[in-house]
Amino acid sequence: MRQHNFNSGPSVLPQQVLQEAAKAIIDFNGIGLSLLEVGHRTPHFVAVIEEAKQLVKELMQLNDEYEVLFLHGGATTQFMQIPMNLLDTNATAAYIDNGIWGNKAVKEASLFGNINVIASSADKKHTYINQNFDIPANAAYLHITSNNTVEGTQWHQFPTTDVPLIADMSSDIFSRQIDFKKFSLIYAGAQKNMGAAGVNLVVVKKSILGKIERKIPAIMDYRNHIEAGSLLNTPPVFAIYVAMLTLRWIKQEGGLEIMELNAIAKATLLYDTIDSLPLFNCRIDKASRSNMNAVFFIDNEDLQNKFLEECKANGMVGVKGYRTVGGIRVSMYNALAMESVIAITDLMKNFAAKHS
Ligand code: PMP
């Protein structure tokens, strides 16, 4: 039986994507070779990566001022590649710290230049997104995390600024309609809303590059990847293929408008259920709640463990909170069906009736 997959990442993928990816491993497009056996510079693979780039641009409604890259290393590599490319040693970049991933980005960036953390939600255990902050006009860029996977908060309105805006969208990429033109650089590890682990999407506005003095190792320099069309070295071919299939699926389902409607419907059902049952407690400021990762608690730890066990017994996986936060985390990425949210909210109601 297929499990209800609430994993935070790697996470649920559309069945259709899994089936097509499985087929391509055995015989890719009927060419008598596996996708894993063809060269990355052959027309077979170039068609895959070109379609993936085109779909990203189409879904984000971006023009040729932007370049789409598929890079190795996951989102974590971007924590250093961004400052390496955009922050001179004596310059200052602004960061907003809304949780564990933003904090890691700050630490890595401080190896390259000065970092000004202009806002942090650490004072309230990252249960909200900062609203009031000043962005220094001379900042090299402003970095935010659009969705905080671990803490369960999400930016619902992005800052407006003349400073280049950079967002780690690893855990809510392609889940909603956004004015992507507001951003100068967007990045995301693929393993949540966009496919399999092993590839990282970077969408960059070309005009922000080439403005610093640092010498950048060739493989780390975005300009080299742009010039080589993401084929500077052997790219993670299979992960890019799965991303392309997932992007195709998003488009076929109706694009970001439909992803957003589905995400809101699922999150509304879950949060309404939490709010209606005194046993469950969501500590996140209502205006900052994430539509992707709902983090909540049963204040009695024994009961909470019992609930987690019941989830497991009922075929629901990935529900335990992150190790530093604890509690319960229900991730509701694009490919998670509404039926799974109905199943867990039914379980919550039954559990509350038995134990309140
Ligand atoms: N940023 C965010 C918001 C994340 O959720 C994660 C992974 N969960 C990362 C960065 C790190 O991604 P990766 O493991 O691909 O380096």
Scan for tokens 């970001």, then name that residue.
Answer: 256
Tell me, yes or no, whether 200 and 142 share the same domain: yes
Q: Amino acid identity, residue 227?
A: E
Tell me, yes or no, whether 217 and 272 share the same domain: no
Tell me, yes or no, whether 234 and 288 share the same domain: no
Measured CA to CA, the distance from residue 334 to residue 6 in angstroms comes to 11
Mutate which of 170, 172, 200, 290 for ligand 1? The one with the most ligand atoms within 8 Å of its CB, which is 170
Ligand 1 center from residue 352 Cα (angstroms): 33
Beta pairing partners, 45: none
Tell me, yes or no, whether 80 and 49 share the same domain: yes
Residue 19 pLDDT level (bands cut at 50, 70, 90): very high
Model pLDDT for residues 130-163, shown as the tens digit of each residue:
999 999 999 999 999 999 999 999 999 999 999 9
| CATH value at residue 344 | 3.90.1150.10
Ligand 1 center from residue 289 Cα (angstroms): 19
- Number of domains within the chain: 2
Domain around 112: 15-253
Which ligand 1 atom is nearest residue 73's CA? 16
Note whether residue 345 is domain-resident: yes
Catalytic residues: 101, 168, 192
Model pLDDT for residues 67-120, shown as the tens digit of each residue:
999 999 999 999 999 999 999 999 999 999 999 999 999 999 999 999 999 999
Question: Of 218, 253, 288, which residue sits at a domain end?
Answer: 253
Q: Amino acid identity, residue 266?
A: K
Residue 1: pLDDT over 90: no
Tell me, yes or no, whether 263 and 285 share the same domain: yes
Note whether residue 2 is domain-resident: no
Ligand 1 center from residue 132 Cα (angstroms): 26
Tell me, yes or no, whether 160 and 275 share the same domain: no
φ, ψ of residue 254 to 5 degrees: the values are 125, 10
Tell me, yes or no, whether 174 and 123 share the same domain: yes
Measured by CA distance, the residue closest to atom 3 of ligand 1 is 170
- DSSP alpha helices (H): ranges in 97-235? 100-109, 222-227
Mutate which of 72, 76, 201, 324 for ligand 1? The one with the most ligand atoms within 8 Å of its CB, which is 76
Ligand 1 center from residue 152 Cα (angstroms): 14
Q: 231: which 2 tokens? A: 């084929």
Residue 356 pLDDT level (bands cut at 50, 70, 90): confident
Model pLDDT for residues 160-175, shown as the tens digit of each residue:
999 999 999 999 999 9
Residue 190: pLDDT over 80: yes
Q: Are 238 and 35 in contact (CB under 8 A)?
A: yes
Tell me, yes or no, whether 68 and 213 share the same domain: yes
Tell me, yes or no, whether 102 and 157 share the same domain: yes
Question: Of 253, 281, 308, which residue sits at a domain end?
Answer: 253
